[in-house]
Amino acid sequence: MAQDEDRPGVGFWGAVAIGVGGMVGGGIFAVLGLSVKLTRGAAPLAFALAGLVALVTAWSYARLSVAYPSQGGTVTFLYKAYGPGLFTGAANVLLWISYIIMLSLYAHAFGSYGAQLFAPGHRGLWTHALISAVIILVTLLNMFSVKAIGAAERWIVAIKVLILTGFVVLGMAGMSVHRLAPSQWAGWLPVVAGGMVIFVAYEGFELIANSAEDVSDPRRTLPRAYYTCVGFVIVLYIAVAAVTLGNLSVDGIVAAKDYALAEAARPFLGESGYLVITIAALLSTTSAINATLYGAARLSYVIARDGELPSFLERRIWNRPLEGLLITAVLTLVMANAFDLSNISTMGSTGFLLIFAAVNAAHARMGAGSRFKTAMAWGGAGLCLLALASLLVETAMRSPAQLWVLVAMLGLALGIEVIYRGVSRRGIRMDTDTGDVPGGP
């Protein structure tokens, strides 16, 4: 769908804000403590390795977004490369499940940080109460006041980036660098796998693809926006991890795993700094839940319009896909309260590494350009799969039971697609002339 000539398009900074807002949501607040638990003093390196995978994949997204601008984003890329087969359908369902996992991660972070504001004796109860409350509240906001909260998104992005930048600048003054020395690192496999467990903190850059058709001068703007937002977030995450380790011991970070960033602010900012970071975490995770819930609801609607999910998810109430919204919210409530942070993060990273491997391969299959660029695209797919392999090996060594959770997640995505195709006999109905997924405004 071509951009309306009477409507100003999304500019460079607007596209960067979409990408940064998608990445710097609840991810860094949720997984920072987990990264230190897995990698010890090598947490900044783990964030760098995960960022490298994201940057390589962003190159494929940038080129595909220019070639096939549509609101479908990842869904469109997979369809264009692989057609309306079982693989595409299962990958689209896996993408939806991965968004639900991300929502669970953000809600878990909200509950963990919020519970610290209450008496220590009942924090477990408060964590689950706040997890449920924020999911229900944001669902209601999306039903009745989506425009009001949407209008504040850019300001929220600016505030949380400003707070994290302030944390880095102020924390560098008195940080102890000996905890970052190689002698303090975990082994290479835990470091690489630890980076992949926390890969979910980077996944939001692909949201730029969903706004590609609204971007002004996309051939020039989109690549710059992708590389700028991913590059900036890599530097920010490395700095945040380094400052956290420089101001709080590894044991202290692990003890406060679910709210490590706030605890790390206490040594150099005192109780007021602890409170500011906690409030920033609550604001960021709420913002991330809102954006991801809206996007996941629309994704379920788009996939249903493709014929890959039940047709009732196509129905609109008040001109919005509310049935998909409610189903997504209910599934998030169950997952966020049933699984721990490590399980949620591992599932989310597995889902997105598989999806990103498929997108990189899609770029190569559809012609990345020269032989060198095609090799780069295949290399990106291989890098995602290598990252996934390291994650699975380390998970098998650390917590073998988690592998069954991953198998169940992948089996669910494939099973939904196989069973639904067999029962419904519905076919994919994507507009192959434009590459648009039906259901866009």
Task: Please report the DSSP string for 335-363 in residue order.
Answer: HHHHS-HHHHHHHHHHHHHHHHHHHHHHH
Residue 317's DSSP bridge partners are: 320
Residue of 24, 8, 42, 19 lying closest to 245 (CA atoms): 42
pLDDT of 364 reads 93
Residues 173-206: pLDDT tens digits?
A: 878 888 899 999 988 888 998 889 888 889 889 8
Cβ-contact 385, 326 below 8 angstroms: no
Residues 5-36: pLDDT tens digits?
A: 444 567 888 888 888 888 886 778 888 888 89
What is the rounded CA–CA span in Å between residue 424 and residue 435?
A: 24
Determine the average pLDDT of the residues in 222-235. 95
R_g of the chain, CA atoms, integer Å: 21
Q: Which residue has the higher pLDDT, 49 or 324?
A: 49
Q: By three-state DSSP, how is residue 320 classified?
A: strand
List b or e across 80-116, with b for residues whose CB sees 16 or more CB atoms inside 10 angstroms.
bbbebeeebbbbbbbbbbbbbbbbbbbbbbbbbbbbb
Residues 115-149: pLDDT tens digits?
A: 988 877 677 889 999 999 999 998 888 777 555 55
Residue 292: pLDDT band with limits 50, 70, 90 = confident
Largest Cα–Cα separation, the chain: 64
What is the rounded CA–CA span in Å between residue 60 and residue 53?
A: 11
Query: Quick one: 29-422 is in which CATH superfamily?
Result: Amino acid/polyamine transporter I (1.20.1740.10)
Cβ-contact 109, 262 below 8 angstroms: no
Q: Is the pLDDT of residue 150 over 50?
A: yes
Q: By three-state DSSP, how is residue 321 classified?
A: coil
Which residues contact residue 88 at a Cβ distance below 8 angstroms, ignoring those fewer than 6 apart?
A: 78, 79, 82, 428
pLDDT of 52 reads 94
Q: Where are the domains of the chain?
A: 29-422
Q: By three-state DSSP, how is residue 170 classified?
A: helix
pTM of the model: 0.85
Q: Residue 142 is inside which H or E element, if any?
A: helix 123-144
User: What residue type is 436 in one-letter code?
Assistant: D
pLDDT of 437 reads 35
User: What residue type is 137 in one-letter code?
Assistant: L
